[in-house]
Amino acid sequence: MIGAIAGDVIGSVYEWNAIKTKRFELFSPSCSFTDDSVLTVALADAILTNRDYVSVMKSYYLRYPDAGYGGFFHQWARSAHSPPYNSWGNGAAMRISPVGFAFNTLEEVLAKAKEYTEVTHNHPEGIKGAQAVASAIFLARTGKTRNEIKEHIETTYGYDLSRSLDEIRPTYEFNESCQGTVPQAITAFLESEDFEDAVRNAVSLGGDSDTLACITGGIADGFYGGVPDFIFQKVMGILDANLRSVTSEFMAAYCKT
């Protein structure tokens, strides 16, 4: 889970200032957590406390109203009834990493990913994106190889993972959809050598860099057994006391290595 948050923090300064290189300062002075981290921690909190994710998300939205949410989510969070809004946006995939760590079978991971996603993103592409990321994390943390993860994602979800980052990068632009974010983020993981390299891969694509790196970081966290200590310490220092506390509690419960 901390890998997803780290990706969000590292990518935060490039969301509207896209770069096409892996050579960048890992932690800019302007790095911060965004809605990706807030809603990821909200889901971790809901899992830890066995509370309704809708009410937990709303409480986090009220605490962090300026974290960078999309327009539809703003409307949803402020609504008294909050029906799902048929979204296929990548917000479904950016917040789902706790599911990949907290549950012990692929079947349960898929069911929980759907349950926690469809409260907002009930479009088939939104659910598919969240399930693909959650399953990739589960497979990564349970010892599957890159090739096994790649084959599962391509076979189960129909995402094309055949294009390399070098092929994707030149023409890739900001994309808010799951279908235009999840395959690219998974590819960034597949081509990585270690956790830091995975996040650099994701950011180097340009586009919605914090979300790309958040998704990639969650998978890399599972595959590489955590994040380097200097990244962990830096990210935890950027989180506020509430986000840091919930993250620590969740990791103690579900992310032991």
Predicted structure pTM score: 0.97
Question: 186 is written with which tokens?
Answer: 């998974």
Owning domain of residue 10: 2-17+33-254
**How many domains are there within the chain?**
1
Q: What is the pLDDT of residue 17?
A: 87
**Residue 28 counted as domain residue:** no
Mean pLDDT score, 193-205: 98
Ramachandran category for residue 225: left, alpha or beta (phi over 0 → left; psi -120 to 50 → alpha): left
Give 71-101 pLDDT, tens digit per residue: 999 999 999 888 999 999 999 999 999 999 9
Closest CA to 34 of 220, 238, 201, 195: 238
Q: 207-227 burial, b for 16+ CB within 10 Å, e for fewer? A: bbbbbbbbbbbbbbbbbbebb
Give 100-139 pLDDT, tens digit per residue: 999 999 999 999 999 999 999 999 999 999 999 999 999 9
Give 4-48 pLDDT, tens digit per residue: 999 999 999 998 889 999 999 999 999 999 999 999 999 999 999
Question: 227 is written with which tokens?
Answer: 């994040």
**Residue 118 counted as domain residue:** yes
**Residue 233 counted as domain residue:** yes
Task: Report in angstroms the alpha-carbon separations of 181 from 42, 187, 209, 217, 246.
Answer: 22, 10, 10, 13, 27
Q: What is the mean pLDDT of the chain?
A: 96
**Residue 24 counted as domain residue:** no
Q: What is the pLDDT of residue 82?
A: 87
No. of helices (H) and no. of strands (E), the chain:
15, 0
Which one-letter amino acid corresponds to residue 170? Answer: P
Res 242 pLDDT > 90:
yes
Closest CA to 99 of 223, 255, 244, 246: 255
Mapping DSSP to helix (H, G, I), strand (E, B) and coil, where does residue 89 land? strand
11, HSE (Cβ side, Cα atoms, 13 Å):
37
**Residue 145 counted as domain residue:** yes
162 confidence band (pLDDT: 50, 70, 90): very high
H helix runs in 121-227, sequence order: 124-141, 146-157, 165-168, 182-190, 195-204, 209-224
Ramachandran category for residue 194: left, alpha or beta (phi over 0 → left; psi -120 to 50 → alpha): beta
**Residue 26 counted as domain residue:** no
Res 193 pLDDT > 70:
yes
**Residue 227 counted as domain residue:** yes
Res 236 pLDDT > 80:
yes
Q: What is the pLDDT of residue 255?
A: 82
Q: What is the pLDDT of residue 154?
A: 98
Tokens 């994309």: give the residue: 175
Res 70 pLDDT > 60:
yes
Could you tell me the CATH number of the domain that includes residue 216? 1.10.4080.10
**Residue 23 counted as domain residue:** no
Contact 220, 249 (CB under 8 A): no
Res 257 pLDDT > 60:
no
Q: What is the pLDDT of residue 41?
A: 98
Mean pLDDT score, 142-162: 98
Contact 205, 165 (CB under 8 A): yes
Res 251 pLDDT > 70:
yes
Q: What is the pLDDT of residue 15?
A: 85
Res 256 pLDDT > 70:
no
CA distance 203 to 10: 8
